[in-house]
């Protein structure tokens, strides 16, 4: 099968390209750097010509409410081009909990994007992922100050980007879901504890202070960012195992999972 991966030069998009290629499919990465501009539609027809499926792994250039307008235009152009090209399956990479955290502007904008997929004429699948392992340190940097990192005890269920990409690829080659599928890692861990695990792995002497108001994830409560029990795809890689395999943490370090 032939796939166009929009946003295919980014972290997760490039992993999706790799996963599809490893499975024996033809997958081409597309982005502004390759001549595809979702806001103008430039290059879309060429990118989608002959494609059986398209994977949308794009991100808005901003994380505020302005991202809603970006997704309206970009997604509208993508779906119109996909329909014109006869694409049989459009897969959107979204985020677990987008419809449960109205306090986050970016999440509200992703809901707008999802709605465009559900209302479109192209058969679709929406794949919602939890936060990627690779982004945990970036999340920590948002609330770091000197020797302290302030983090809320918000429950997360992070997933390795490679595991997420393989799940997206598996769905892309299958029949359209005409619905939503969650995917997540195997452990539910408070964000503040993830911070402590990560600092220990790095040999970083900073202290994590639990702060219920720190950073954007403070807007999420309860199990808002946890995958739907029973129907979600649960990836095998544990965060601490990923750290060990990346030579980022001493052997034997393990998180204390919390029940979802």
pLDDT band at 247 (very low <50, low <70, confident <90, very high): low
**Per-residue model confidence (pLDDT) at position 248:** 45
User: What are the strands of the beta sheet with 148-151, ordered from one edge?
Assistant: 144-145, 148-151, 207-210
CB distance 13 to 7 below 8 Å: yes
pLDDT band at 210 (very low <50, low <70, confident <90, very high): very high
Contacts of 52 (CB under 8 A, 6+ apart): 1, 2, 3, 87, 88, 89
**Per-residue model confidence (pLDDT) at position 243:** 87
Q: Give percent above pLDDT 70 in the chain.
A: 94
Q: What is the pTM of this model?
A: 0.91
How many CB atoms neighbour CB 215 within 10 A? 19
Query: Residue 99: helix, strand or coil by DSSP?
Result: coil
Q: H or E stretch including 156? A: strand 155-156
How many CB atoms neighbour CB 33 within 10 A? 8
Overall size of the chain counted in residues: 260
pLDDT tens digits for range 99-116: 999 999 999 999 999 999
pLDDT tens digits for range 1-58: 999 999 999 999 999 999 999 999 999 999 999 999 999 999 999 999 999 999 999 9
pLDDT tens digits for range 132-188: 999 999 999 999 999 999 999 999 999 999 999 999 999 999 999 999 999 999 999
β-bridge partners, 93: 127
Match domain 2-245 to its CATH number in 3.40.50.1970, 3.40.630.10, 3.40.50.720, 3.40.50.300.
3.40.50.720
β-bridge partners, 210: 151
């Amino acid at each position: 099968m032939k796939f166009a991966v929009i946003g295919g030069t980014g972290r997760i998009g490039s992993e999706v390209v790799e996963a599809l290629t490893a499975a024996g499919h033809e997958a081409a990465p597309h982005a502004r750097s390759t001549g595809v501009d979702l806001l103008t539609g430039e290059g879309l027809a060429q990118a989608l010509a002959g494609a059986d499926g398209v994977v949308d792994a794009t991100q808005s250039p901003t994380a505020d409410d302005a991202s809603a307008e970006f997704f309206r235009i970009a997604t509208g152009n993508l779906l119109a081009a996909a329909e014109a090209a006869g694409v049989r399956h459009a897969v959107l990479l979204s985020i677990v909990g987008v419809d449960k955290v109205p306090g986050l502007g970016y999440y509200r904008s992703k809901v707008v994007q999802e709605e465009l997929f559900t209302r479109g004429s192209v058969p679709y699948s929406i794949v919602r992922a939890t936060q990627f392992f690779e982004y945990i340190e970036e999340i920590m940097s948002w609330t770091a100050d000197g020797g302290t990192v302030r983090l809320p005890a918000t429950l997360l269920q992070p997933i390795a980007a490679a595991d997420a990409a393989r799940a997206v690829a598996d769905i892309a080659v299958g029949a359209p879901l005409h619905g939503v599928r969650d995917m997540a890692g195997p452990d539910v861990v408070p964000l503040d504890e993830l911070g402590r695990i990560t600092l220990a792995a790095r040999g970083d002497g900073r202290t994590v202070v639990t702060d219920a108001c720190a950073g954007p994830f403070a807007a999420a409560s309860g199990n808002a960012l946890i995958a739907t029990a029973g129907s979600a795809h649960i990836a095998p890689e544990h965060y601490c195992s990923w750290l060990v395999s990346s030579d980022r943490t001493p052997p034997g370090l393990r998180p204390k999972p919390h029940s979802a």
